[in-house]
Structures are given as C-alpha cells and as structure tokens.
Amino acid sequence: MIKNIIFIAIAVAIGSVASAHNTLKGRVIDAHGEPIIGANIVWDGTSIGGVTNIDGDFAVVLSSSTNRLTISYVAHTSETVEVNDPTEFIEITLQGELSLDEVVVSARRSSTHHSRMEPLQLQKITTDELFRAACCNLSESFETNPSVDVTYGDATTGARQIKLLGLSGNYVQMLTEQVPNLQGAASSFGLNYVPGSWMDGIQVSKGTSSVKNGYQALAGQINIDYKKPQLADPLFVNLFAAHTGRLEANVDGNISINDKLSAGLLLHYSREKTSHDSDDDGFLDMPKTEQYNVMNRWFYRNKNYIFQAVANYVHEERESGQDVHGTHIDNPYKIGIKTDRAVMFTKNGYIFNQDKNTSLALILSGTYHKQNSSYGHSLFDIEQKNLYANLMFETEFDSKNRINIGASMDYDSYNEKLIDARVQGLDNVKLQRKDPITGAYAEYTFDYYNRFTLLAGVRGDYSVNHGFFVTPRLHLKYAPWGDLLNLRASVGRGYRVANVLTENSYLLASSRKMIFDKNLDNFESAWNYGASAHFTFPLFEKDLSLMLEYYYTDFDKQVVANLENSTEVVFSNLRGRSYAQSAQIELSYPLFKGFNLTGAYRWTDVKTTYDGELLAKPLSNRFKGLLTASYQTPGAMWQFDATAQFNGGGRMPNPGTADPLWQSEFPSFVTLIAQATFNYKRFSAYVGGENLTGYRQGNPIVEAGNPWGDRFDATMIWGPLSGPKFYVGMRWSIPKIKK
C-alpha cells in the first residue's frame, strides 16, 4: 500500500512538469564566495521577482517585457545584469559597500532552515542555532531540534545515542565534511568527540540519501561541517562551566598564509571529576570524564585545484560506578573506559570547466581507534582500523541535466576481545575480522528550472564477507508555486554492517547473560519510503513555514537484540517483521520583530518481532512535542532562548511476572532548557539551565545495592538521570579582516 502511494505521487509530480512556467535560475554570492541569503531579485520595471534562499539560490519567472535583472542586498552594491540566455544558470557577485552611515537590520533570519532547493529533505542547522543552548559537543547539538532525539544508553557510562525516524543512530550515516566518520568503534561515544564550538553547521537529511557517500543511511544522514581556516576568525575562545563541576575550554586559531594557503588549529579540553549521587543509590549519576581533543586543518586553492587536509586526535577517559566520596564499599562495582582515536582525511578537487561544473574529486581517509573498557569483572577491548577512498566525477550536460559517477573503497579491520563469564555463543561472532567493500555508482539529476527535480542513483558494491549487493535510490521534488510549496517523495534501499558487540557494549553494565545465536548474520538491509510537503505562507509581511512529513522503514534483514527476558539478552537474526514509521508536523513563524517561534509534533511507531510476536520496540517514545522560542532585542545585544520538550511514554521490556523488576510502561515527561546571552561586539556571555523542570527517572539502576547479583541492570533508561543543571560561559573572537 505504501509503495503504491509513493509511486502514484511520483507519477503525479512527473505529469505536472508539462504545465511549468519558464523560470530563470541562479545564485547570489558575496566577494568571498559565500551565499547571500535574502537578496532581492526583480526584473526592471516590473514586480516580478523573488529572494535567495539559504544556499543563495533563486528561481524567478521570466519577464516578457525586459531581460534586465536587478539584484540588491543591504550593505552591498546592487547589480543589474542582462539575461540573454534564460536557460543558463547564472551566478552574480555582490560587492560590499566600503562605508555605511548606519547599519540597518531588516529582519532576523531563522537559525535552522529547511532547504527549498535540494531534492532531498535537508535541514540545515547553523552556528546561531548551536549557540542557543549549551552545545558543548555534538550530542548536545539537537536539544532544540524536533527531528533528532538524544538519549542515554545506560545510567553509568554517559554514552549518548541519537534517534532519527524512531531508529537508533546506528542506522544514521555520520559524516564530517562529507567523509564517513564516527562509525564502528566510535558508535558508543563518538557524539562526544565533536566539540560544539568547532562546528560551522550541521545538515540533517531524512530517509535514504545520495548514493555518492555509500550504501548506508537506512534512516538518514547527518553531516558536520567544521570551521574553515580560509573563512573563520583568526582567534576564537569559548569557556564553559557548569555547577556540576564540568569545565570546558575551546580555542581555535586560523591564519591565511597567503591568498592561496590557509591553516587552522583547534584545541579542546574538558573535564568533570566531581562525584554526584543525587538519588543515593551508591552509583555516580554521571561518569567522571576528561578529554583532550586537537585538530589541524589546511586549505589550498590555486586556480582550478583545491586541496584540503584534516588531522584529528582524541584522548578520553571515563570512570563510573560505585565511587561516591565519603562512602566505604567493599568490592565496589567499577567502570572504566579509555579511548584513543586518530583521524586524517584529505580532499582533492580539480575543476575542468566551471561553466558546466565539470570536476574530479578524490577523498582519502584513515582512522585508528583503540578503546579499553571494564564493566565490573567484564573486560571489553576493541581496535579498529579504517581506510576509505572515494573518486568522484561530476559534469552538467546543460542547465537541466547533470551526472555524477564514481568508485569507492571502504576497508575495516576489527580486533575485539571480550572476557565475560556470562557470554554464551561468542564463537558465533567474528572477533577478528576484515571487511573490505568496493563499489561504483552513477547518479543522474534532472532539474527543470527548480520547479521539478529528479535525482536517481544506483550503486553496486562487493564485500568479501557479504557478496555483491545493489543500492537503488530515487528522490523527487516538485514546486508547483515556486517557494510557496515544495513537495518531495523518496524511495531507496540501504545496507549496514552491524558491529554487534561494540554497538551493544553498554549492555555490559548489567548482569544479563549475553547469548549469540548460531549463524548470526551481521549484514542488515531495509527499504525506506518518504514523502513531505513544505508550505511557505506570506502572513502579515512575514513567512509562515509549515512542514509535513512521513517516513516508513521496512527491514528484511536485521540483528535483533531481544531484551524480553529480564536476565538475558539474545542476539539473533530477524524472524518476522520489523519496521519503523514516523510522521511529523513542524510550524515556524517570526511572531514579531526579533522573535521566532517553532512548534513541532512527531508520532513514532517502531515494532520488531520478538519470540514470534510483533511488539513495540522497548524504550522508544511514542510521540514527541517541542516548542522553542527565541527573542533578540533590537541591535542584537540580548538574546533569550527557551525550549520545552514533551516526551511521550512507551513500552518497557517484559519485567517478569513473579517479581517484576520494573513497570511494563514508562510515563510521559516534560523537560525545559533556557539560556540568556549578552552580546557586545565580538564578545558574548551566556547563562542557562537544562532540565529546569527537574524531572528525573526514579531508580534508574535496578538492584543498585547488589551489582554482583543476577538482577542488576543499569540499561533500562528512558528519562533524565539527574536534576537541573546550570551553566555559564563566554565567547570572544578577533574578527577576520576583509580584503
């Protein structure tokens, strides 16, 4: 039924192309090549025109009376160009004015945008959005986002997990600057390895994405952009402190060595060594942590050649368990995790023909990750080595037709070691394995003046362990009334190599027996279907944005972690159905000058077959509501932000009948975060709080008083683990001198 609906929508969209008006498409940039958002586009002597979007792109209906187009933007010199060939994509550069008698702020732009130009359902999170809350690392970057959830995997290690479309982050492909990253051994704690102040923005796409980046992304894709040395300020400092004892310092410096070569150095240090046990269960509420993080990056451009290089090293230590100051415990239950991670990648690009966007690019990446961890008497070590290469060629046949072709190689080497007397069937898991996967892809784009866009891609990959497999994907976008309405539909297949031990290592923080089925196949696959409608209504000289979307993920192969027996977890292959469906509505409007308001509601239905019965996936919220408000005073000296999250209840694993360890359902709850920021020139000071409602999950650790017994479990987590947290911080920078 769902497949029929998707393909009927596709057919209707294709059939509507014939009635499309001729339009001119182009882009507006500044003198530094950055897109200008909100530039006015108008045909001379007419009222026909439009404005540029977040990418600086525009599409305006052709005028029958003139071919002269005027482009204007505040604090920039207006440009008038003659359009002789309306079928060609044009790019206009606006120069900044040398002097201004006054600064005029006409409107405050939203800090989160849904792209109107991309065929994919893409949301762009800017640094302004990241600064609205205590964005200390990537795991805290989605506090104000209605689409991405961030939860704790257990009550001891502090491991954060994201969820998208109701599925865990393992089904979301993580990229840093379009390079696969934070996967495999980094899946448990990788969200903590990206400091918030390092990020230049985040792009979140839902459903299957482009085949250029691989066969993964069963539920979506998240790409993180770091600060660019050729564009960033020469010096930026961010200091942060929370009342819980958390301290953090970020310093990054960037230098333009000459007009071709730039370099940047980013430094991060954080620690939280204070003991907290607010529920008096003898266990730390949060682990004691310390992290050193450094990144060095280079950028070089000479005519048509572009080179980038990034090197990153992370060292982190975590300690948790029964370690409360002033309390004597015989044979305490301890958890210790030590991680060293090094990543290096280069991006090389050569532009053969700028008019037709003909280019060749090569991405090379190498990763080394070593993690040693202990959970009570259990030991788990992992060492991962990864090599990645992606060769890409792109060209435009004309203004409407574009093609990408390429080939990639992704080589993983894992060496895992687990010492745990409770494990059964460990021989069914390959602890030492090598998995080289090579593939090639082709992707075709048809763009009819940004009114109708078709993106069709297919890739074939070969794995030594899993054989040959094909990944087809299709995305459609139809804009019947320009920017007023954007309709999208997508269908595609995705695959994933599950790292069963690593991704479920948090379950070691319990007394559960770990049972691995015979012939366990760790290769997962699913189809994803999606549809969305983005409405933009002019209302009182402002734009009201309404987003409606629905996604359905249908698994045919999956590794199932069965927790229905309260004293064990069984890993087996899917025998039956497994699916996730998610529907969301999001409404955003600048209620008055300087004030932005966003509200969203999401319904989620995730079910998997356990022991022959199709059940709701445990520890998954049935719904989520979000209301976020942001007010900026005239002149932007003060900014006030607040976000309320309404988290729906859900099902718990079977607690047992004779002596239940927990309730069969967990309740709904509300959390609140708020922040006030003072801005003066290049200095900002902020103060805020998290979980201001003070809601906490009661008794998050089962049988905390007897961690060596067979009923101990610290993994049944569905809500906040600690009460309100208050923090202060400052940001200061030296501005980049514009040449």
Of 47, 63, 94, which residue sits at a domain end? Answer: 94
Strands 220-226, 199-206: parallel, antiparallel or unpaired by DSSP? antiparallel
Is residue 103 assigned to a domain?
no
Mean local confidence (pLDDT), 34-42:
81
Secondary structure class of 569 (helix, strand, coil): strand
Residue 108's pLDDT is 55
Mean local confidence (pLDDT), 481-496:
93
Mean local confidence (pLDDT), 44-52:
75
DSSP for 77-97, please give it: --EEEE-S-TTS-EEEEEPBP
Mean local confidence (pLDDT), 624-645:
95
Whole-prediction pTM value? 0.86
Q: pLDDT tens across 85-133, in order?
A: 777 778 888 876 443 333 333 445 567 777 777 888 888 888 888 888 8
Six token digits for residue 693? 């409602």
Closest CA to 159 of 396, 318, 375: 318
Mean local confidence (pLDDT), 644-656:
94
- Strand ranges for 334-448 from DSSP E: 334-353, 358-375, 378-396, 401-419, 423-424, 432-448
Mean local confidence (pLDDT), 655-674:
91
Residue 473's pLDDT is 97
For the chain, give percent helix, strand, coil, nearest 5: 10, 55, 35
Q: How far apart are CA 132 and CA 592, in angstroms?
A: 19
Strands of 199-206's sheet in order across? 112-114, 122-126, 199-206, 220-226, 172-176, 179-180
Do 158 and 42 belong together in one domain? no
Distances (CA, A) of 31 to 34, 76, 94, 561, 675: 7, 10, 6, 54, 35
Residue 526's pLDDT is 98
Mean local confidence (pLDDT), 326-332:
73
Residue 549's pLDDT is 97
Do 41 and 135 belong together in one domain? no
Mean local confidence (pLDDT), 337-352:
96
Residue 685's pLDDT is 97
Residue 17's pLDDT is 37
Do 85 and 213 belong together in one domain? no
Residue 26 pLDDT > 90: no
Is residue 105 assigned to a domain?
no
Closest CA to 620 of 164, 129, 280, 67: 164
Residue 101's pLDDT is 39
Do 51 and 142 belong together in one domain? no
Do 452 and 533 belong together in one domain? yes
> What's the CATH number where 86 sits?
2.60.40.1120
The residue whose two tokens read 């979307």 is 549
Residue 489 pLDDT > 80: yes
Of 42, 64, 94, which residue sits at a domain end? Answer: 94
Residue 626 pLDDT > 70: yes
Is residue 259 assigned to a domain?
yes
Looking at 143-157, 207-221, 263-277, which range is the least confident one?
143-157
Do 120 and 50 belong together in one domain? no
Mean local confidence (pLDDT), 662-674:
95
Phi and psi at 111, nearest 5°, equal -90, -5
> In which domain, by residue range, is 442 found?
112-734
Secondary structure class of 149 (helix, strand, coil): strand
Residue 312's pLDDT is 98
Residue 330's pLDDT is 80
Q: How far is CA 399 from the centre of its chain?
A: 31
Quote the percentage of the chain above a pLDDT of 90: 65
CA angle at residue 154 from 125 to 603, to 5 degrees?
50
Task: Return the bridge partners of 545, or none.
Answer: 536, 588
Q: pLDDT tens across 537-576, in order?
A: 888 888 899 999 999 999 999 999 999 999 999 999 999 9
Identity of residue 297 = R
Do 70 and 116 belong together in one domain? no
Looking at 317-326, 362-371, 444-453, which range is the least confident one?
317-326
Give the side-chain half-sphere CA count within 13 A for 657. 0
Strands 513-516, 423-424: parallel, antiparallel or unpaired by DSSP? parallel
- pLDDT band with cut points at 50, 70 and 90 for residue 32: low
Q: pLDDT tens across 444-463, in order?
A: 999 988 889 999 999 999 99
Do 165 and 87 belong together in one domain? no
Is residue 450 assigned to a domain?
yes
Do 163 and 84 belong together in one domain? no
Q: pLDDT tens across 695-715, in order?
A: 999 889 999 989 999 999 999
Q: How far apart are CA 546 and CA 719, in angstroms?
A: 29
Count of structural domains, the chain = 2
Task: Return the bridge partners of 307, or none.
Answer: 300, 348
Residue 18's pLDDT is 35
Q: How far apart are CA 128 and CA 125, in angstroms?
A: 8
> What's the CATH number where 614 sits?
2.40.170.20
DSSP for 308-363, please give it: EEEEEEEEEEEEEES--TT---SS--EEEEEEEEEEEEEEEEEEEETTTTEEEEEE
Looking at 143-152, 204-213, 265-274, 371-380, which range is the least confident one?
143-152
Give pairs for 97-103: CB < 8 Å, separation 24+.
Answer: 100/75, 103/75
Is residue 104 assigned to a domain?
no
The residue whose two tokens read 């069969």 is 664
Do 9 and 129 belong together in one domain? no
Is residue 534 assigned to a domain?
yes
Q: How far apart are CA 487 and CA 480, in angstroms?
A: 8
Residue 284 pLDDT > 80: yes
Q: How far apart are CA 378 and CA 139, in angstroms?
A: 27
Is residue 445 assigned to a domain?
yes
Do 27 and 161 belong together in one domain? no
Residue 9 pLDDT > 50: no
Higher-pLDDT residue of 84, 235: 235
Closest CA to 486 of 550, 533, 545: 533
Task: Return the bridge partners of 443, or none.
Answer: 404, 457
Of 36, 65, 94, which residue sits at a domain end? Answer: 94
- pLDDT band with cut points at 50, 70 and 90 for residue 524: very high
Other CB atoms within 10 Å distance of the CB of residue 670: 12
Mean local confidence (pLDDT), 402-427:
93
Other CB atoms within 10 Å distance of the CB of residue 33: 11
Q: How far apart are CA 502 and CA 625, in angstroms?
A: 32
Residue 406 pLDDT > 50: yes
Do 25 and 135 belong together in one domain? no
Q: How far apart are CA 386 and CA 497, in angstroms?
A: 14
Residue 738's pLDDT is 61
Residue 8 pLDDT > 50: no
Query: What's the chain's length in residues?
Result: 739
DSSP state of 104: -
Instruction: Evaluate whether 224 touches 148 at the Cβ level (below 8 Å).
Output: no
Higher-pLDDT residue of 25, 352: 352
Is residue 587 assigned to a domain?
yes
Residue 681 pLDDT > 80: yes
- pLDDT band with cut points at 50, 70 and 90 for residue 464: very high
Average of per-residue pLDDT values in the chain: 89
Residue 54's pLDDT is 67
Q: pLDDT tens across 572-613, in order?
A: 999 999 999 999 999 999 998 899 999 999 999 999 999 999
Six token digits for residue 391? 């060769």
Residue 66's pLDDT is 79
Other CB atoms within 10 Å distance of the CB of residue 287: 19
Closest CA to 254 of 243, 245, 238, 265: 265
**Is the sign of the CA dihedral 568, 574, 575, 581 positive or negative?**
positive
Residue 306 pLDDT > 60: yes
Quote the percentage of the chain above a pLDDT of 70: 93
Six token digits for residue 48? 């026909």
DSSP state of 147: S
